[in-house]
Each structure stands twice: as structure tokens, then as C-alpha cells.
Amino acid sequence: MKLNTIQPAEGAKKARRRVGRGIGSGLGKTAGRGHKGQGSRAGGFHKVGFEGGQMPLQRRLPKRGFVSLSKARNVEVRLSEINDLSVEEIDLLTLVQAGLAPSRALSAKVVLSGQISRKVVLRGVGATKGAKAAIEAAGGSVGD
């Protein structure tokens, strides 16, 4: 095989569509654009969802659901991350200083992921049922 003999596979290269080149081409006269209307004109593109002035579907349908703005400000902290902290009493400010929660966090909750082997006291920080059981088993407490 030589570089000058390499060719693409049969049928891999398709000739580009040449419109408006006579009746025999199948795409002569109107060039596949039909007669009149927005799509037949040059620059006849419209916005996605535009229905020619009719109220678009996404505006006709009722809006449902709710997106919580505070969702991003509620943080989950793993039990293993709590175990790595050097302090015994843990609150939201401690978590922010340790880099486990962003500074704009409003609340935090400890989830059961990993193990805890030392006593910790949670103040103003929530905990799941499993995390609370693990903290209390290690001699710690969860409370306000």
C-alpha cells in the first residue's frame, strides 16, 4: 500500500447538493424550498419554538413545579469528614472554616458515609438517623 493509492471507501464521499441547477436535477426552480412563505425566502430562519406568531407551545402550557433557591445553601457533610476535624464541638462556622461548607451555607446536615471513631458534639448542625446513631455510639451527641 502506498500513500498515493489510498482512497476513501466506496460510497463514503457523497457529492454536495447543488440546488437550482435545472429541472433534471430534481432541485431546480424553487430549489426544494417550496412556494412562498418564510422558509422560501433568504434569511427565512426563525427562533426555536417560534410558531409564526401563534402562541408557542411552551407558553401555552401551564407552568408546574418549584425550584428551591435555598437548595444550594443546604450542605451535606460526610461522617468521615467530621472524623478528620480536630475540634470536638462542631457547628456551621466550624464547618465553613474547615472548608467542608461554603461561606454562604445556611444549614448543614451530617450523613452516614464512613465511620467516626471519636467523640464529637454537633451544635446547630443536623444529622440523619444513621449518622446520629453512629455519633452517639462513639460517645458524642447531636443537639442544638
First to last CA, the chain: 78
Rounded CA separation 141/89 (Å) = 10
- In total, the chain counts a number of residues equal to 144
Cβ-based neighbours of 23, under 8 Å, separated by 6 or more: 29
Q: What are the pLDDT digits (tens) for 3-58? A: 999 999 999 999 999 999 999 999 999 999 999 988 898 887 778 988 888 999 99
CA dist 116 and 59 (Å) reads 52
Structural domain for 23, as ranges: 18-46
- Asked if residue 77 and residue 28 are part of one domain, the reply reads no
Same domain, 37 and 77: no
User: What's the number of domains the chain is made of?
Assistant: 2
Average pLDDT, the chain: 91
The reply to whether 133 falls in a domain is yes
The amino acid present at 107, given as its one-letter code, is S
